[in-house]
Amino acid sequence: GMGLGLLTIVRATAPAETFGTASYAAISGALSGPSVLARAAGPLAGTYLIAMHNQYDTLLLVLLACALGGAAAFLLGARKETP
């Protein structure tokens, strides 16, 4: 609820603050493209994995791998560089 509301505000203002307002629409669209594709492909890929293996185990392993990969990417991105 509250997190998605904040994300909506940040997603709308961050491109303008970071890159300026000259190409706001193009930059905002390019930034939202991967998210929209993932939301569209996720249910299809999950259904495909369940149908191919007739069980949920494979889907759960794929979701676990995605979550661990996302956490690792966050930790690598959040590292402080020491001079």
Query: By percentage, how much of the chain surpasses pLDDT 70?
Result: 95
User: What pLDDT, on the 0 to 100 scale, is given for residue 82?
Assistant: 63
* pLDDT, average across residues 37-56: 92
CA pair distance 77, 1, nearest whole angstrom: 25
* pLDDT, average across residues 25-37: 88
Place of tokens 């001079």: 83
pTM over 0.85: no
pLDDT in tens, 64-75: 999 999 999 989
Q: Indicate the average pLDDT of the chain.
A: 88
User: What pLDDT, on the 0 to 100 scale, is given for residue 1?
Assistant: 67
12's CB contacts (< 8 A; 6+ apart) are 28
